[in-house]
Structure 1
Amino acid sequence: MARVRVLSEEARLPGRTETEAALTLAQRMPRLVLEARRVAASLSHGIHGRRRAGVGESFWQFRPFVAGEAAQRIDWRRSGRDDRLYVREREWETAQTIWFWIDRSASMGYVSDLAQASKSERAVVLGLALADCFVESGERAGMLGLMPPRATRRIAEVMAETMVADRSSLEEDLPPQAPIAPLHEAILISDFLSPVRDISAAVEAISSRGARGHLVMIVDPVEETFPFQGQAMLHDLEDGISLRIGDAVSWGRAYKERIAQHRGELEDLARRRGWSMTIHRTDRPASEAALRIMTLVTASRGANPGGR
């Protein structure tokens, strides 16, 4: 039978060592940042090449002037250094910002011996890896309710430091109900075990101005299979209540039906809002979920490059 444990509040911070005083970020959370960097490096090819010329404010490149183009487009300063005429192209700008929300509430501290990592650790690694990839491709990354959008190459360290400094979100199992701009996207990473009506309220608030988003459900393999027999004691990690059951096999069947119903309702919610939903088990590599999310974001941009 699989053994399970629950991480403490301290362990749900994205970095922990024997002391928190006078330690640099690199000392406080090296493992998760390095793991996120590793995942990001293995996936970087998935979004390279998304930057292109078009309407925008950022300089992209110079290219030779083509007969028939408007003369106003010629960059005379650059052309003066050569015998050819050049045009200054600007980068095509679509949705510039990816907003992240990473659940670190009590239920995310759950981990069994069948998993590669706790749900909380996997959520942090996924969030940091995705942020690193998107910033590398020219996007900005922000954290809902915690950090404004940034485009620094140290985005993984900056986000990690923000999470380490913020303890209040350890009690929050739902994202802030704050709308984001139409050309922005949200990536919400959680086990999503809250009532669907509460999750729906948060999703609808975030997307109320037309923004798209992605739900990433993190699950431990034991939560999928419920491999228990005989008597068992179940604990609600959020509310602190317990339930003793006499026949775990029979109870497990009802549990699986309820989980299937809950996920079906979440999938309907995502579909209604034009969002995606990904289920990621912690016994699988983090790169699998990261690649899927990157593919979904890239596909949504390619389907409507000019906006929503």
Structure 2
Amino acid sequence: MSDAPLSLRSRSEDLAAPFPALLAEAEHLAATVMVGDHGRRRAGAGDTFWQYRPAQNHDEMRAIDWRRSARSDNQFVQDKEWQIAQSILLWVDQSAAMSFTSLKDGTTKAQRARTLALATAILLLRGGERVGLTGDLLPPRRGEMQISQMAALLSEDHADDFGTPVADGMASHSRALFVSDFLGDLTGIETAMAKAAERDVRGALVQVLDPTEEAFPFDGRTIFESMTGAVVHETLKARDLRDRYLDRLAERKDRLATLARTSGWQFHTHHTDTAASSALLWTYSALERRA
């Protein structure tokens, strides 16, 4: 009897092992953030009453709510709530670099990035939006099943040292979220943002960093090695590199912020030793649908 089915099952279980934990953590994070319905409400096409507002010159006479207007010297119309679902696509860096943490048993950049992205997706879906992943892996849809599929896909690790955003699959006028440390070659993110701008896609860049990557606390003999071991650099005077490193990191952040601003996006840096809820609130607000 062949042991192939047993081997396949073992590999499948190993692959799926992080999935329940990621989903549970994202659900918990989403539950800690209280987002009122008003956060995404806009006047627009729909059948649900939202608010009364004073009539304006461009309003047609048939739009006047005469019952409400009879109680005042002014004329009022009803605004309906915008009910057109927005498509929002996510790209999360799953490269080896994201598995770094400077603390024993600390939160890795990958854990925080995936949890933050999935919690954002949960909030968006519950707000009536369609959410998916860039590329052709998971087109934007609604429903709880979408969350489960997204969690399974985001639980996978990729072998590359650094990740490159995938801009495929983004429909015109949709929204997008890219989450990464953005410490690799920025050519890929620039190309993806250019494609997004061509389609009038707006969104947010969230840079997730370990506190050590922000502070550079190294001194003396130090060996710097990428997570795959492909890049190794040894120095006897690590502190001499600190100022140059911090300058380059600041330049990179400024480059990312400028890229986001010129593309109509927003940029935010989040550290893994700070509360994930604050980053979730920022991200959800940055992705608010425009009427």
* Normalised-by-shorter TM-score class: 0.7 to 0.9
Q: Is the 8 A contact 1:231 1:248 kept in 2?
A: yes
Q: Which amino acid aligns with 1:180?
A: M
- Which residue is equivalent to 2:215? 225
1:141 aligned to 2:131? Answer: yes
Helix, strand or coil for the counterpart of 2:214? helix
Cα displacement (A) at 1:205: 1.2
Q: Which amino acid aligns with 1:151?
A: R
- Which residue is equivalent to 2:23? 33
State how 1:196-235 maps to structure 2 within 5 Å.
Answer: 196-235=186-225
- Structure 1 unaligned blocks of 5 or more: 1-17, 62-67, 71-88
Cα RMSD of the aligned pairs, angstroms, is: 3.0
Helix, strand or coil for the counterpart of 1:55? coil
- Which residue is equivalent to 1:73? none
- For residues 24 and 264 of structure 1, do their structure 2 counterparts lie closer, same or farther at Cα, with a shift above 3 Å needed? closer
- For residues 261 and 95 of structure 1, do their structure 2 counterparts lie closer, same or farther at Cα, with a shift above 3 Å needed? farther
- For residues 229 and 28 of structure 1, do their structure 2 counterparts lie closer, same or farther at Cα, with a shift above 3 Å needed? closer
- For residues 123 and 170 of structure 1, do their structure 2 counterparts lie closer, same or farther at Cα, with a shift above 3 Å needed? farther
1:106 aligned to 2:81? Answer: no
Task: Return the match for 1:246 from 236, 239, 246.
Answer: 236
Instruction: Quote the Cα distance in structure 2 between the aligned partners of 1:150 and 1:190.
Output: 23
Task: Return the match for 2:40 from 18, 26, 50.
Answer: 50
1:284 aligned to 2:238? Answer: no
State how 1:1-308 maps to structure 2 within 5 Å.
Answer: 19-21=10-12, 28-46=18-36, 50-51=40-41, 54-55=44-45, 60=48, 69=62, 92-93=82-83, 96-113=86-103, 116-145=106-135, 146-164=137-155, 169-171=158-160, 173-178=163-168, 180-237=170-227, 240-298=230-288, 301=289, 304-305=290-291
- For residues 233 and 24 of structure 1, do their structure 2 counterparts lie closer, same or farther at Cα, with a shift above 3 Å needed? closer
- Which residue is equivalent to 1:85? none
Q: Which amino acid aligns with 1:286?
A: A
What percentage of residue pairs aligned between the two structures are identical? Answer: 33
Cα displacement (A) at 1:91: 5.5
Instruction: Quote the Cα distance in structure 2 between the aligned partners of 1:177 and 1:141.
Output: 15
Instruction: Quote the Cα distance in structure 1 between the aligned partners of 2:103 and 2:153.
Output: 29
- Which residue is equivalent to 2:58? none
Q: Is the 8 A contact 1:235 1:243 kept in 2?
A: yes
Helix, strand or coil for the counterpart of 1:213? strand
Instruction: Quote the Cα distance in structure 1 between the aligned partners of 2:266 and 2:237.
Output: 36
Instruction: Quote the Cα distance in structure 2 between the aligned partners of 1:160 and 1:222.
Output: 28
Q: Is the 8 A contact 2:41 2:82 kept in 1?
A: yes
Q: Is the 8 A contact 1:182 1:212 kept in 2?
A: no
Aligned residues: 257
Q: Is the 8 A contact 1:232 1:248 kept in 2?
A: yes
Helix, strand or coil for the counterpart of 1:45? coil
Q: Is the 8 A contact 2:225 2:232 kept in 1?
A: yes
Instruction: Quote the Cα distance in structure 2 between the aligned partners of 1:44 and 1:97.
Output: 22
Q: Which amino acid aligns with 1:274?
A: G
Q: Is the 8 A contact 2:89 2:133 kept in 1?
A: yes
Q: Which amino acid aligns with 2:212?
A: V
TM-score (norm 2): 0.78
TM-score (norm 1): 0.74
Instruction: Quote the Cα distance in structure 1 between the aligned partners of 2:29 and 2:110.
Output: 16
- Structure 2 unaligned blocks of 5 or more: 1-8, 50-60, 64-78
Q: Which amino acid aligns with 2:139?
A: P
Instruction: Quote the Cα distance in structure 1 between the aligned partners of 2:37 and 2:173.
Output: 18
Helix, strand or coil for the counterpart of 2:32? helix
Q: Is the 8 A contact 1:185 1:211 kept in 2?
A: yes
